Amino acid sequence: MATIVFCSVNKTARTTARRCLNSYSNGLASSVESPYSQLTTLLPSTRWFSRGSSVRFMSHGTAGRAGAGRTRRGALLSGAAAVTAAAAVAGFLANANHFQRAEMATKVSPISEEKEPEGEILERCRGFMSPPVTDIGELQERKWEMRTRMEMLIMQTQADFCKALEVVDGGTFKVDRWQRNEGGGGISCVMQDGKVFEKAGVNVSVVFGYLTEEAAKQMTSRGKVLKGKDGKLPFCAMGVSSVIHPKNPHMPTVHFNYRYFEIEEEDGSKQWWFGGGTDLTPVYINKEDAFHFHNTLKEACDKHHSQYYPDFKKWCDRYFYIQHRGETRGIGGIFFDDLDSPSQEEAFSFVKSCARTVVPCYLPIVYKHLNDSFTDEEKDWQQVRRGRYVEFNLVYDRGVKFGLATPGSRIESILMSLPLSARWEYMHEPAKGTLEAEMLEALRNPKEWV
């Protein structure tokens, strides 16, 4: 059996990023070792700002905000935040026209365009938050199978996102490995009550066994024709999912999920498909944030098909719709399911492009709002919106339903998406002309942001 040692790279990342920033500011970036030496080449328009030597995190009810509900434009990064930004986003921050808007990694950095090093299973695993769910020896034996390639992708996505969040928050994710008696298991990474994030969860699950009748019904209701042997359907399902709930109401919640499903039918043939998406749930409308988020996703989609973004954006608006409220959960993003064409290789390539956007589509928005102050009233509105988030997840979310219907599922991991706190006010309706009313209007009538 292969032996592997896991270690944190945050210190190394911070040191390298600091060297990069110092060299950049002195016009000597060419002396920094790869890949950070490419910053000035890749990002000629990027300017790094600093003020002081520490990051100021605003607490609940911070006063001094000009105009209730309005965000401060062009928030400056402190020295520490600038260093950690480089470590977290590492070549993604570009285009100072908005707020050093991050372009999609696959467009900005040629490193991202390199072919996936799928043969280096052991080496790649060293950077993960935990050893993979599947034994490393088994992954090496079938490294070219889609199940292995997808598991490696979701493990990498979890590691990249967790490390980026740890840098900006200063906290550490609790890594919780769990096993499913019926087959498989998962890795839940959760950080609670941090400086920036009230609750951040990034989960990986790889489960297999037999589909229950209830789970099979959910799939057949979506048009899947499944023929099991003696009423049994062997399956394998894996994915990475994340929900991030920040403390500051001017910092939006983000959610993403990318998954792969494989079913063996009675004749031995296999059905497979991919699903997933990324969506944003702000408390207040910020058009620059919305454009950056949607444009990053659009660029990822456009690499594969010009119709993917408009189709999957509409699908996202339909899917994250709270029917009993007559409003969407947030301002959307992309969502797709049952993707089994044009080929398995091309579908996987598309999912890989989407998964690689989770850091560049969200982290620049986080850094932009690090120092935004807020009022008690704005915090209360955030709690009301989180109540809507809870309603959607418990009533409509397909992943929650499937998880609860699957024997041996990890309930704590399934409900990880729920915020620590939420609020329900009787007959609550924001006053006309307020920023809260503007937010509600966007949720009741979804907009085109790109």
| Nearest-angstrom CA–CA distance, 382 and 246 | 10
Spatial separation of the C-alpha atoms in residues 379 and 386, rounded to whole Å: 11
- Whether 255 is catalytic is yes
Partner residues linked to 176 by β-bridges = 188
| Eight-class DSSP state of 229 | B
CB 367 within 8 A of CB 85: yes
The two structure tokens encoding residue 1: 């059996």
DSSP H or E stretch at residue 291: helix 287-302
Cβ-Cβ contacts under 8 Å for 301 (sequence gap 6 or more): 308, 309, 312, 334, 350, 353, 354
One-letter identity of residue 182: E
Q: Taking a C-beta distance cutoff of 8 angstroms, is the pair 191, 172 a contact?
A: yes
Catalytic one among 245, 255, 292, 294? 255
- Distance (Å, rounded) from C-alpha 286 to C-alpha 233? 46
Angle between helices 10-25 and 79-89 (to 10 degrees): 110
Strands 327-328 and 332-339: unpaired
For residue 171, count other CB atoms closer than 10 A to its CB: 16
Spatial CA neighbour of 363 closest among 279, 251, 450: 251
Write out the catalytic residue numbers. Answer: 255
